[in-house]
Structures are given as C-alpha cells and as structure tokens.
Amino acid sequence: MTRTDLTREADAPARRADGDIRVAVSTVIFTLRRPRGDERAAVVLPLVRRTRDPFEGQWALPGGWLDATEGLDAAASRTLAETTGLSPAYLEQLYAFGAVDRSPSRVVSIVYWALVREDETRTEPQENVDWFDAESLPDLAFDHNAIVDYALWRLRNKVGYSRIAHGLLPDVFTLAELREVYESILGRRLDPANFRRQVESSDTLIPTDDFRTGSHRPARLYRYDREVELADRGPLDIRH
C-alpha cells in the first residue's frame, strides 16, 4: 500500500468550511548513509514529492492528516509507514508548528523526529520518495526547511546527553561503530581512547563474548543495556 498522497496538507479528507483548523502530523526521520570511501557517513532523510497543490512537485516531509481515532504518536507512525514504508526504532515529538501563513489553508502540524537503522531502509522503493543529504536540501514545501533545521539541532544536542545513537545501530556493535555514529552526527572526530572510557563509565553498554573479525585486531561487540532508564524526556518517559 503506497499512499504518498497523504502529504497533501491542504486537501482534507473531507472538505470543510473556511475558518476551520486541521491537524497534520509529519516526521523528520534520519538515518546514516555510509559512502563508498572512508569519508564520514552522512545524515540523510526521506522526502516525499507532492502530487497536488499547494507546492505540487516540490519535496516535503512524510506525513498525513491526524485521524480522530488515533493518538499523535500513532498518527506519526502510521503516516510515516504509509508514505515511506519505514518503522523507526526511535520516535519522539519535535514541535508543533502553527503559524497562520505556513500553508494556504489553516494547518497545525505536529512534527515528530525519528531514527532508523540503515539496513531498515531497504524496503521496496516507493514511488515519489527519495533520500536527501540533510546538509544540502532543496527548497521544500511549506516551512519544512526550517523544520528540518530544528530537527537536526535537536539530534545533535540530544546525542550529547542521551543514548539515541542506539536507534542507528543494530543489536550488537563495536565501539568503533558507535563512535562513527557520534562523529557523523556531530561532524567532528572523537578520540577513540577517551570515547571508550566515557561510554564504559556510563554503564549503558553490556560487553558480549563475541568479536567483530575481518580486519586487523578483532573488536569486542557490545549491546545496549535495556535495564538502564533513559529518563531524558522526564515524566513523559513513563510509558514503557
């Protein structure tokens, strides 16, 4: 089921009288794309090409209308899956955008941001969906350029005090792979020795007995400790 037309923010499922306010849900979903060479991985995100006015032909964030029978989180998951086929490991509300002139009709967009592992993005290619480097986006529909900028800022901020890098990695990984995630997001090199000590002293990783072999000295594989409470969203995290 491919319903890329769900990004039509200005066309309601059922037309309403003027003066009405409609609620949309959109998601900025990031993953890391590793280039062929040894260059640093790039932060990329999927966009959906609009097939109707306004902004027909331009790229926009995946999203859709909030359904009266679903909560906001559920709407974000559903519209993201319907437009791109993705099911993110990490999903969090970003901000509510509701300027009067952000769309020809009156739309309040509840925007989420999310992370997926690169291997999860290998779904069947969707029509009108493509991936873009977060650093060099084209002109997007609505206020979506500003929204992506804000989501990038939140991502870089949060990676410093939270363990969201988890959302970009498989179950087990080496410390070098974890460090590469941080380096790609922060855009700078980190000292491998100091990085190791920091994550080890944080007690959020469990070392396994397995090693990643294939090149030089084998590296120990780690997994995240599911028992560790994140508590980076305060009382909102009480939802298990």
Nearer to DNA, 14 or 161 (CB): 161
* Distance in angstroms (rounded) separating the CA atoms of residues 178 and 100: 42
Nearer to a second copy, 117 or 158 (CB): 158
Joined together, the tokens standing for residue 128 give 């009108």
Which residues lie near a second copy (CB under 8 A)? 19-23, 66, 68-72, 93, 95-100, 106, 108, 110, 146, 149-150, 153-154, 157, 234-236
What is the strand order of the sheet 205-212 is part of?
Answer: 172-174, 219-224, 205-212
214 binds DNA (CB under 7 A): yes
Nearer to a second copy, 63 or 85 (CB): 63
Q: How far is the CB of 152 from a second copy (least distance, A)?
A: 8
Which one among 78, 106, 196, 223 touches DNA, defined by CB under 7 A? 196
Please, what's the b/e burial string for 63-81 (b: 16 or more CB within 10 A of its CB; e: otherwise)?
A: bbbbeeeeeeeebbbbbbb
Q: How far is the CB of 93 from a second copy (least distance, A)?
A: 6
Among DNA, a second copy, none, partner that 23 touches (CB below 5 to 8 angstroms by kind): a second copy
* Distance in angstroms (rounded) separating the CA atoms of residues 171 and 224: 8
187 binds DNA (CB under 7 A): no
Among a second copy, DNA, none, partner that 70 touches (CB below 5 to 8 angstroms by kind): a second copy
Other Cβ atoms within 10 Å of 24 Cβ, number: 25
Among DNA, a second copy, none, partner that 160 touches (CB below 5 to 8 angstroms by kind): none
Other Cβ atoms within 10 Å of 126 Cβ, number: 18
Per the CB < 8 A criterion, the answer to whether 136 and 182 are in contact is no
Q: How far is CA 202 from the centre of its chain?
A: 25
Binding site for DNA (CB under 7 A): 174-176, 191-194, 196-198, 211, 213-220
